[in-house]
Amino acid sequence: MEGMPMKLVTLGLSLLALYAIQKYIELRRAIQSVQYHPRKTALLAQDSVLGNILARIPGISMGGNVAWESKHQHPYNESGSQHTPKRAGMLLQMHISILPSPRVMLSLADAAAIKEVTTTRFRFPKPVSQYKALSFFGDNIVASEAEEWKRYRKVAAPAFSDRNNKLVWDETLRVMFDLFDNVWGSQESISVEHALSLTLPITLYILSAAAFGQRISWKDEDTVPKNRQLSFKDAIVEVSSSCITKLIVPSWAMGFNAHTRKVRLAFDELESHMLDMISNRRYAEKKAEKDDLFSNLLDANAEDPTFTDRDLMGNISVFLIAGHATTAHTLCFTFALLALYPEQQELLFQHIKSVFPDGRMPTYEDMSLLTYSMAVFNETMRMFPPVNNIPKYSAEDTSITITNAAGEKRVVPIPRRTGVVINTVGVHYNPRYWKDPEVFRPGRFLEPDWPRDAFIPFSAGPRACIGRKFSESEGIAVLTSLILRYKIEVLEEPQFASESFGERKARLLTTKPGLTMKPVRVPLVFKRR
């Protein structure tokens, strides 16, 4: 009996060793079945929670921001073999990780292969388990796949109508004119410490009106309903800015400090506001015709009994979370780039003036004429795509075809359950598709043969972002209205007086990871024209 504990320890260690050997064999088989090099190995999976939080530690973590930090220079261009020399523009990279379980993940920067993956969603579905945390208020189109996704897509697609896009445009101009007339007023020069403090409320106020049908003005005084603790404005501001906290902190720990309690309250209050909105609109004696997303989805809710109130709240809230920060960050980067490249800003201004020589403000129907505004917006999203990596996985034993720098095609086998990552940054900075990819040159999007398959800021295929036109309408209206009235410049600060253009560019365009790529600090001046 005295030797029993030691025997149990020995047995436990033996079982652990056998388990480790089994997983190692599984991993080696997976690597051999893919038959592709080069590869990078790390203990933690890139798409794991810990792997995303940690910085890049060789052998331990690839880092959550590795795609952005490396762009197309690493690992694609630095990898090679006797058949594929270094800097040849490799288009596929293998990532190997051990935890939470041994796995192989392929990272793609080949436009043709990406198109194959995104257009055959049954072979390469979305790993919805990674998105379930976004189901704050209910299941939704982002965190679903297969038949459930098709049901949500069928209901949501009509909501993103041309009438809704026109509403987006009109509400954007309302928000911008409210800013110009009632906040900036007669000031000749307006300085901001960080342009994100401007773009975040702009996009939030637009979303509130175009998504929820709730208008918010810059100088509105918050009114809290008697049965609520927060106004709709305060609740939606806190939810949109604190969803990361909600994602990473378990529900049982949300009351541990003042910040998490505030976040919990905001989510509870927004849910209550949405339930009130559903009830008020559903049982109103006289129903008003509205084109906001909430009203459109509520109509769908009435026509399809399988589309529940939880589905309605789940989808409208994920549109809020997905649409708010992404457009706000893109606009912030756009303003920074135009400030850094005044010649491009002048080209944009002159183009808008040439289209509207009478000085009138463009309408939604004029949007197609604003080709340079669209080119600037697209070039910003090429250089700063909202999402660096788009995860998929192989549902079956399959293969994809890639092309090397010499134009030679190669079929790469992909075993079932292999992770496949679409590297948005890698393809957007791939010199095979984009000349001088590090250079801000909007005119490339005015060329008739620009590489459309290598531009995927909204993903591609059937699972492409349903709100693309919503975002574009909002972004172009903001950009055009602002440039017509104001010139954007970098805020001069004494401590940076001697910096070079390269140093200034690096400073203004510094990013940090989050739900979407976020600018760290963009100090600007807006001068009345």
Report the C-alpha gap between 17 and 465 in whole angstroms: 45
Helix (H, G, I), strand (E, B) or coil at 255: coil
- What range does the domain containing 284 cover? 232-289
Segment 189-237, tens digit of pLDDT: 999 999 999 999 999 999 989 988 888 888 877 678 788 888 888 888 8
Please state the length of the chain.
529
Residue 54 lies in a domain: no
Cα torsion through 487, 492, 498, 500, rounded to 10: -30
Query: What pLDDT, on a 0 to 100 scale, did the predictor assign at position 62?
Result: 63
Query: What pLDDT, on a 0 to 100 scale, did the predictor assign at position 437?
Result: 94
Segment 312-361, tens digit of pLDDT: 888 888 888 778 889 999 999 999 999 999 999 999 999 999 999 888 88
- Residue that terminates a domain, selected from 254, 270, 289: 289
Report the C-alpha gap between 470 and 211 in whole angstroms: 10
Phi, psi of 524 (to 5 degrees): -135, 165
Q: What percent of the chain has pLDDT over 90?
A: 41
Report the C-alpha gap between 126 and 116 in whole angstroms: 14
Phi, psi of 421 (to 5 degrees): -110, 125
Same domain for 163 and 278, yes or no, is no
Least Cα distance to 355 among 374, 341, 381, 339 occurs for: 374
Higher-confidence residue of 80 and 211: namely 211
The model's confidence at residue 142, banded by pLDDT at 50, 70 and 90, is confident
Residue 222 lies in a domain: no
Higher-confidence residue of 371 and 63: namely 371
Query: What pLDDT, on a 0 to 100 scale, did the predictor assign at position 516?
Result: 79
Same domain for 254 and 321, yes or no, is no
Same domain for 143 and 277, yes or no, is no
Report the C-alpha gap between 456 and 425 in whole angstroms: 9
Higher-confidence residue of 87 and 293: namely 293
Query: What pLDDT, on a 0 to 100 scale, did the predictor assign at position 89?
Result: 42
Query: What pLDDT, on a 0 to 100 scale, did the predictor assign at position 527?
Result: 97
Structure tokens at 218: 């810059």
- Residue that terminates a domain, selected from 254, 289, 324: 289
Has residue 414 got a pLDDT over 50?
A: yes
Same domain for 239 and 135, yes or no, is no
Same domain for 284 and 433, yes or no, is no
Same domain for 396 and 502, yes or no, is yes
Higher-confidence residue of 236 and 176: namely 176
Structure tokens at 222: 């918050």
Query: What pLDDT, on a 0 to 100 scale, did the predictor assign at position 88?
Result: 36
Please give the DSSP secondary-structure letter assigned to residue 513.
Answer: -
Structure tokens at 269: 């209050």
- Answer yes or no: is 332 a known binding residue: no
Report the C-alpha gap between 510 and 24 in whole angstroms: 39
- Residue that terminates a domain, selected from 289, 310, 330: 289
Query: What pLDDT, on a 0 to 100 scale, did the predictor assign at position 436?
Result: 93
Query: What pLDDT, on a 0 to 100 scale, did the predictor assign at position 396?
Result: 93
The model's confidence at residue 78, banded by pLDDT at 50, 70 and 90, is very low
Report the C-alpha gap between 5 and 250 in whole angstroms: 37
Has residue 452 got a pLDDT over 60?
A: yes
Same domain for 244 and 316, yes or no, is no
Segment 277-306, tens digit of pLDDT: 888 887 776 666 688 888 888 887 777 778
Same domain for 305 and 275, yes or no, is no
In sequence order, which ranges of 54-156 are alpha helices (DSSP H)?
66-70, 111-119, 146-156
Least Cα distance to 451 among 474, 422, 430 occurs for: 430
């669209």: which residue's tokens?
A: 374
Look up residue 250 and give its amino acid. P
Residue 42 lies in a domain: no
Least Cα distance to 395 among 148, 142, 145, 122 occurs for: 122
State the total domains in the chain: 3
- Whole-angstrom distance between the N-terminal and C-terminal Cα of the chain? 90
Residue 418 lies in a domain: yes
CB atoms within 10 A of CB 240: 22
Has residue 86 got a pLDDT over 50?
A: no
Same domain for 268 and 164, yes or no, is no
Structure tokens at 326: 């992404």
Same domain for 138 and 204, yes or no, is yes
Residue 53 lies in a domain: no
Same domain for 379 and 481, yes or no, is yes
Least Cα distance to 345 among 336, 356, 354 occurs for: 336
Has residue 37 got a pLDDT over 80?
A: no
The model's confidence at residue 63, banded by pLDDT at 50, 70 and 90, is low
- Residues 169 and 367: beta-carbon distance below 8 Å: yes
Q: What is the CATH number of the domain that holds 317?
A: 1.10.630.10
